[in-house]
Amino acid sequence: MVQEDRKAGYVPFLYTPHPVIGMSDEALDGYVVGKNPDTGRPVIEDIIDNFTKPVDPAKLKFKAAVVEEDKTEYLKPDTEDNLQQLFYEQGWTDGLPIILPTQERVDRMLAATCAAPEEIVGEMMRFDIRGTVQYTVKNVATIAVMAGAKPEYFPVILAVAATGLEAIQSSTSNWSAMLLVNGPIRNEIGMNSGIGAFSPGNMANASIGRAWTLMSTCWVDMRPGKNMWSSLGSSLNYNNNCCAENEEASVWEPFHVQKGFRKDESVVSIFRGWVFVNSAGSASVRSIGEEMCLQLSTIPPTNGTATIVMDPGIARMLKENYGFTKKEDFARWLSENAKMPAERFWGYDHVDWMVKPLALQGIEPYASFLRAKPDEQITPYFDPQRINIVVVGGDTNPLWKISEYGYARSESVDKWRAKPAETDECADGTCGIPDPYDPADYE
Amino acid sequence: MAITLLDNVLSPVPHSLTANKGIFSAAALAKESLAKRLDTLDGKTIYLVDIGYGGSYKFMQALERWFQRNMPSVNVVRRRKPGSAFMDDSQELWEEIKAKGHAAVIGVAG
């Protein structure tokens, strides 16, 4: 039929049983004669019918869900307990209780920005409607209240919303993300970039990261089985690794300055990927570089990206003991020395289906990687600009976290502030840690 | 204890849903824009195009086995889509299918 009609640009869609990846030949033979979950008919019968019988025009494109838009701004009056239950049942939570967004609370949040309540901040993709959802400053303020944020955190949360990136994605894989804050606002709002920066305990880290996830659940319905299909999911999505860079303790340039922002500018940066792992020990037997290369050689380097979050002590050693005067120098060293056998590289599922097409098109260095012998060592992190280095931690142990997260984008916080930034120096990055002996820190 | 009703709690749902706008947007489709259907598959060439997503080549192998066992008169050509699963295609395979194929199955994700 395609021979007879050069305009045959559209095709009918039909569905197979799921999942396909990793299934045996016998199972897939069963899928071919098994039920199409959309029609209930055998898949092969639907295929043959699509070839030989008139096609229902409704099958020619994805069927978008119709969402009844509720224009009511306020919910029906109810008790706090009943409203908490309503938010839970509607999926307007991460599973934990939220702070109910009363008008007074939202107004207090709105007072922390110069932006007008009805200003459009951005839009996110919502899969079931095959469309986007636009959100205003007021929508973001509502989310910020729900997450438990203080008004002074609001400019950071607005900057996160302005990226237009979802904390939770619709993929069947186990995505996760990291939300990094740089610049003076880290200390103004008491973020933790020091001891236990990734751990529970700091209100700013916890609620800013949580707010990002609530944007996904409330705005684009990223609930399991709704628009989120990740098979195992990720507990990292509770606060999305939200932390601040320990700029004061770092021997290197802050991350946002590497991306072209001024040092005195406050910025959020987002990283996303699949794998995020801890170093178990430090590097007292092998060198730091060797240890990191070993780890990088055992995770799928899908896009050649890596994000390494290291304690200030590691950064200091790399500079003082190994001579890496800049982050970029160490990134370049990793790009040249993190290797794996070609056979391992091409055996990773993601590399096979996302990278191999590039190799087959002759794009380098992938084409050379494809020509390599199975046991030949290749350098999958070949581009130092795709290796991100961030300094976080409290100098209690020279450790690091390693991931194949890619850098997504950064947004300035300052444009969302109610007033110009104030400089508040923090000597060691620990000013965000609540003092266990000072009750005022827990008010 | 008195029960207080909260009457000023805001809905967290934005009001501006924009359907069919974004990466899945498509123009309204006329029924006649589809190619004519085949009368029969006997003696026809069907391309099974693996989009490259994990496992899809094995699904196309299963489909190929089904045709070999059940409709051996169908000439099956199994190929992998040259670009990534989502984009970056060259036109060569699609031109080849137009020139040599009667029909094609393209898939499968997941």
Nearest chain B Cα to A22, which residue? B55
Segment A355-368 shows an average pLDDT of 89
Per-residue pLDDT at B34 exceeds 80: no
Strands of the sheet with A120-126, listed across from one edge? A120-126, A131-136, B16-18
**Which candidate, A298, A403, A302, places its Cα nearest to that of A344?**
A298
**Binary contact (B39, A80; C-beta < 8 A):** no
Average of pLDDT values for A242-250? 98
Which of B5, B6, B81, B89 is best to mutate for the A interface (most A CBs within 10 A)?
B6
> By the 8 A CB rule, do A419 and A270 touch?
no
Region A9-32: mean pLDDT is 85
Backbone φ and ψ of A271, nearest 5°: -125, 140
Residues in contact with B92: Cβ distance below 8 Å, sequence separation at least 6, in sequence order: B82
Query: What chain A residue is nearest to B63 in terms of C-alpha separation?
Result: A32
Question: Quick one: how far is CA A339 from the chain centroid?
Answer: 26
A positions 93-122 inside 8 Å of B (CB) = 100-104, 106
Please tell me the predicted confidence (pLDDT) of residue A361. 79
Mean pLDDT across A386-414: 97
Task: Please tell me the predicted confidence (pLDDT) of residue A320.
Answer: 97
Using DSSP, state whether A126 is helix, strand or coil: strand
pLDDT category of residue A1 using cuts at 50, 70 and 90: very low
Chain B positions touching A130 (Cβ under 8 A) are 19-20, 22, 24-25
Spell out which residues of chain A touch residue B56, defining contact as CB-CB under 8 Å: 20, 353
Asked whether residue A2 carries a pLDDT value surpassing 50, the answer given is no
Please check whether residue A75 touches B, CB under 8 A: yes
Contact A78 B5 (CB under 8 A): yes
How does pLDDT run across A78-110, given as a tens digit for each residue? 999 999 999 999 999 999 999 999 999 999 999
Mutate to test the interface with B, among A51, A134, A169, A223 (most CBs of B within 10 A): A51
- What residues contact residue A387 under an 8 Å CB cut-off, 6+ apart? A305, A306, A307, A308, A331, A334, A335, A381
Residues in CB range of A199: below 8 A, 6 or more apart: none
Q: 3-state class of A189 per DSSP?
A: coil
Q: Is A320 helix (H, G, I), strand (E, B) or coil?
A: helix
**Does the structure show a pLDDT above 70 at A343?**
yes
> How far is it, in rounded angstroms, from Cα A225 to Cα A207?
25
Could B109 and A20 be called an inter-chain contact, meaning their C-beta atoms sit closer than 8 Å? Answer: yes
Q: Report chain B's terminal Cα–Cα distance, integer Å.
A: 54
Residue A180: strand, helix, or coil: strand
Q: What is the pLDDT of residues A415-440, one digit of tens each?
A: 999 976 555 555 555 555 555 555 55
Q: Which chain B residues are Cβ-neighbours of A21 within 8 angstroms?
A: 53-55, 110
User: Does B35 sit within 8 Å of A51, measured CB to CB?
Assistant: no
Cβ density class A64-83: b for 16+ within 10 Å, e for less = eeeeeeeeeeebeebeeeeb
Task: Answer with the residue of higher pLDDT: A144 or A169.
Answer: A144
Local structure of A398: helix, strand or coil:
coil
* B12:A73 CB<8 A: no
| pLDDT band (50, 70, 90) for residue B27 | low
Question: Which candidate in B3, B8, B41 is best for mutational testing of the A interface (most A CBs within 10 A)?
Answer: B8
pLDDT, residue A443, reads 44
Q: The complex's ipTM?
A: 0.85
* pLDDT given at position A264: 97
pLDDT of amino acid A333: 98
A-contacting residues in B 18-77 (Cβ below 8 Å): 18-26, 29, 31, 33-41, 46, 52-56, 58-59, 61-63, 65-66
Length of chain B: 110
pLDDT, tens digit, 9 for 90 and up, residues A255-290:
999 999 999 999 999 999 999 999 988 888 899 999
Give yes or no for a cis peptide into A224 (omega within 30° of 0). Answer: no
In the structure encoding, which two tokens stand for residue A59, read together? Answer: 């099958």
Phi, psi for A417 (deg, rounded to 5): -70, 155
The pLDDT-based confidence of A6 (bands split at 50, 70, 90) is: very low
B31-65 residues labelled b (16+ CB within 10 A) or e (exposed): eeebbeebeebeebbbbbbbbbbbbbbbbbbbbbe
Element (H, E) at A317: helix A312-320
As a whole number, mean pLDDT of residues B29-42 equals: 76
| Residue bearing the bigger pLDDT, B57 or B45 | B45
Higher pLDDT, A136 or A427: A136
Grade residue A59 by pLDDT with cuts at 50, 70 and 90.
low
B54-104, pLDDT tens digit by residue?
A: 788 899 999 999 999 999 999 999 998 877 777 666 788 889 999 999 999
User: CATH number of the domain at B31-107, out of 3.40.50, 3.10.450, 1.10.8, 1.10.110?
Assistant: 3.40.50
A40 touches chain B (CB under 8 A): no
Instruction: Reduce the secondary structure of B21-82 to three states and give it as a string.
Output: CCCCCCCCCCHHHCCCCCCCCCCCEEEEEECCCCCHHHHHHHHHHHHHHHCCCCEEEEEECC
Interchain contact B1–A (C-beta under 8 A)? no
pLDDT for residue B79: 92
Three-class DSSP category at A228: strand
Contact status of B2 with chain A (Cβ, < 8 Å) = no
Of A102, A349, A357, the CB nearest to B88: A357
Phi and psi angles of residue A35, each rounded to the nearest 5 degrees, phi first: -80, 135
**Which two structure tokens, joined as six digits, stand for A290?**
């060797």
> What does chain A come to in residues?
443
Q: What is the mean pLDDT of chain A?
A: 90
**Residue A420 pLDDT:** 62
- Determine whether the interchain pair A9/B26 forms a contact, defined as Cβ–Cβ distance below 8 Å: no
Q: What do you get for the CA distance between the two ends of chain A, in Å?
A: 71
Predicted confidence (pLDDT) per residue in A168-194, tens digit: 988 888 899 999 999 999 999 999 999
Boundaries of every domain in chain B: 31-107
Instruction: Write out pLDDT tens, residues A362-379.
Output: 899 999 999 999 999 999
How many whole angstroms separate alpha carbon B94 and alpha carbon A417? 52
Q: Do A3 and B101 touch (CB under 8 A)?
A: yes
- Considering chain A, what percentage of its residues have pLDDT values greater than 70? 89
* pLDDT at res. A12: 77
Q: Which residues of A314-326 are buried (b: 16+ CB within 10 A; e: fewer)?
A: bbbbbbeeeebee
